[in-house]
Amino acid sequence: MMNEIVTGKLKEGVRIVESELAKTYGISRPPVREALMMLELDGLIKLTPYKGFEVTTITGREARESLEMKGLIEGYAARACALRKEAELVDRIGSVLDTMERQVVDGNLQGILEENFNFHLLIVKSSQNEKLLRFYESLTISIRRFYAVGLTKERSWKSSLIEHRRVLDAIRAGDPELAEKTARRHARCTIGRVTEQLKEREGDDMAAPAIDALGECQ
């Protein structure tokens, strides 16, 4: 069910009925309840009195704050990755982007989202900081929903891919300052895409203003 929420198959505000889930998966209600409590901790669903569980609604403020934290980690990890100067690691990251590019050409949103996640995760893993990795993985559980919002337009797919390539180029060049700078810039652009989409969708006044004043986003 988590994957259905993350990918948007289960829409925001949809009620989650324990009995129906138990019947669908052929299990008793206690483990279903336990799974729902875990999803609530991850911020994917919420328990409303007299209504039960329902899928949470993404707000501009939530998306911006979460993605800012994610960007901080990714900037640090890109710097660490550039310092390692490992050709094999760079090749693996490049292979992920090649796959992402094919998904962009095919217009496969789910594939794009998956390779986008793989790209950042591989860089964070390269930091060789286990505590940082665990925090990042827990943070991205709910954040993957934001990408399903921020990368719904074709121009967003292409812009994101270009930004990823710039991060990889800086890592390949072994330039830690540039790697961190481009990773952080990409994070800011992602925040802009997601919050702009939310603003268009809901008129959310918490959405961030345009951040492209310096021309740093495509």
Q: Is the pLDDT of residue 184 over 90?
A: yes
Q: Using one digit for the tens of pLDDT, what is the confidence trace for 93-132?
A: 999 999 999 999 998 988 998 999 999 999 999 989 999 9
**Contact between residue 29 and residue 22 where contact means Cβ atoms under 8 Å apart:** yes
In 3-state terms, what secondary structure has residue 215? Answer: coil
- Domain 60-202 falls under CATH 1.20.120.530: yes
Could you give the CA distance from residue 148 to residue 22 in angstroms, rounded to a whole number? 27
State mean pLDDT over 23-29: 87
> How do the domains of the chain map onto residue ranges?
2-55, 60-202
Mean pLDDT, rounded, of the chain:
86
pTM comes to 0.81
State mean pLDDT over 34-41: 87
Q: What percent of the chain has pLDDT over 70?
A: 92
Q: Residue 12: which of 146, 157, 112, 156 has the closest Cα?
A: 146
What is the dotted CATH code of the domain comprising 2-55?
1.10.10.10
53-88: buried (b, 16+ CB within 10 Å) or exposed (e) per residue? bbbbebebebbbebbeebbebbbbbbbbbbeeeeee
Q: Cα 38 vs. chain centroid, distance in angstroms?
A: 19
Residue that is written with structure tokens 């989409």 in the block: 197
- What 156-160 contacts at long range (C-beta under 8 Å, 24+ apart), as own/partner pairs, is 156/193, 157/104, 157/109, 157/112, 158/104, 158/218, 159/189, 159/193, 159/217, 159/218, 160/112, 160/116, 160/186, 160/189, 160/190, 160/193
**Contact between residue 18 and residue 33 where contact means Cβ atoms under 8 Å apart:** yes
Q: Is the pLDDT of residue 203 over 60?
A: no
Q: Is the pLDDT of residue 75 over 60?
A: yes
Higher-pLDDT residue of 75, 9: 75
Q: Which residues contact 13 (CB under 8 A, 6 or more apart)?
A: 54, 55, 57
Q: Using one digit for the tens of pLDDT, what is the confidence trace for 127-183?
A: 899 999 999 998 888 788 887 776 778 888 899 999 999 999 999 999 999 999 999
